[in-house]
Amino acid sequence: MQLQQWDLETMRLESELRSWGPQRAELVAKVLQGREQAEALKQAWVQIEVARKGLESQIAQLQTMADKYATQQLQTKKNEEYRAFQSQIEITRRNISQLETTVLEKMDSEDQARKRYQKALKTNEAEEKNCKERIQSLDDLKKSRMREVQERKVKRGEFADLVEPKLRSVYERMFANKRGHVLVGVDGGACGGCHIKLPQQLILSCRSDEITNCINCGCMLYYSPEMSV
């Protein structure tokens, strides 16, 4: 009975160790996802900035053209050419005005994009710190549990040596297959594992210290005087 309790606790610790892998992976994924989202916001900000600078470059080019038309207008002596230059100057200035309006809109969008990116960075910094602390905690606990499991496996021999070899062999084979309770008591004349009612002869065999198995679930049965049969 002590051997089974020892094995079950060791199995529980091993199961706990296995569960930490997905937990750690989830935390790492959360950190990476936050970084990717922040990077996407940064790229959106950069794209708006590039577009705004492109518009400003167009405005500068149009302004150069308007200045050129104005210079040529002053140099011409023909009314028709003068009016033509004036028309070109007005068209160019209208285009500049439209582009300047678009630039102002881009500047506003750029400012909002920058704020979203900075907010994401601040949020991610706090979240990443929390995730890293939890990951470190899991890693430290895992090391501790692994040492505990190894120590339990070494110390298990002390309990195993107390069990009669034939009985221990049967128990260990069944435990390896079931990975759970294989040694159960008799409870009210029923199997403590599957709770099916046991034949009287089986109970008598159990009470005589014979290796007895439940006819339904196959668990090994044991009996002690305080049990109700």
From first to last of its 229 residues, the chain has per-residue pLDDT tens of 688 888 888 888 988 888 888 999 999 999 999 999 999 999 999 999 999 999 999 999 999 999 999 999 999 999 999 999 999 999 999 999 999 999 999 999 999 999 999 999 999 999 999 999 999 999 999 999 999 999 998 888 888 888 888 888 888 888 888 777 888 888 888 988 889 998 888 888 887 767 788 888 888 888 776 555 5
Please check whether residue 200 lies inside any domain of the structure.
yes
Q: What angle do CA 148, 149, 152 make, to 5 degrees?
A: 85
What is the span of the domain harbouring residue 213?
165-222
220, β-bridge pairs: 183, 213
**Terminal Cα distance for the chain, rounded:** 19
Q: Cα dihedral angle (81, 87, 88, 90), rounded to 10 degrees?
A: 140
Q: CA-to-CA distance for 55 and 96, rounded, in angstroms?
A: 10
Structure tokens at 36: 């990717």
113, 41 Cβ separation under 8 angstroms: yes
Reported pTM: 0.63
Q: CA-to-CA distance for 70 and 89, rounded, in angstroms?
A: 7
Q: Are residues 176 and 116 in the same domain?
A: no
Q: Are residues 32 and 129 in the same domain?
A: yes
Please check whether residue 227 lies inside any domain of the structure.
no
Q: Are residues 39 and 150 in the same domain?
A: yes
b/e 163-193 (16+ beta carbons within 10 angstroms → b): beeeeeebbeebbeeeeebbbbbbeeebbbb
Q: Are residues 85 and 187 in the same domain?
A: no
Phi-psi region of 227 (alpha: psi -120 to 50; beta: other; left: phi over 0): beta
